[in-house]
Amino acid sequence: MEALIEQFAVEFVASFREIDKARGTVMPSTRQSIAIAKLLSARYMKNRKIDETDFIEAAVVTSFPKVQKVAEEIAKETLQKLKHVYPK
């Protein structure tokens, strides 16, 4: 599960950066990927499970308020990509 969490955090921030370059909005930093990984790891340790909504919520709450809708879309796309790498 840790590999999936780390992969999601890195992929999400990389995808977000590519979109932000085109739009000229606030680019996410590596700190955001660390925050996402820490948040998801804590939830996993507490509940012994995490689902797609946890991944999406972590991506959204660690993003700036003005780009949270975009962050939600990117998080969903990132999860779709990773489903091929980490099937259930």
Each residue's pLDDT tens digit, 14-58: 999 988 665 667 788 889 999 999 999 999 999 999 999 999 999
Place of tokens 């930093």: 29
Place of tokens 């709450």: 61
Tokens of 39: 């948040």
pTM value is 0.89
Expressed as residue numbers, the domain containing 63 is: 2-85
Q: How many domains does the chain have?
A: 1
pLDDT of res. 11: 95
**CA dist 50 to 7, 33, 61, 65, 82, Å?**
15, 17, 16, 24, 15
Count of positions (residues) in the chain? 88
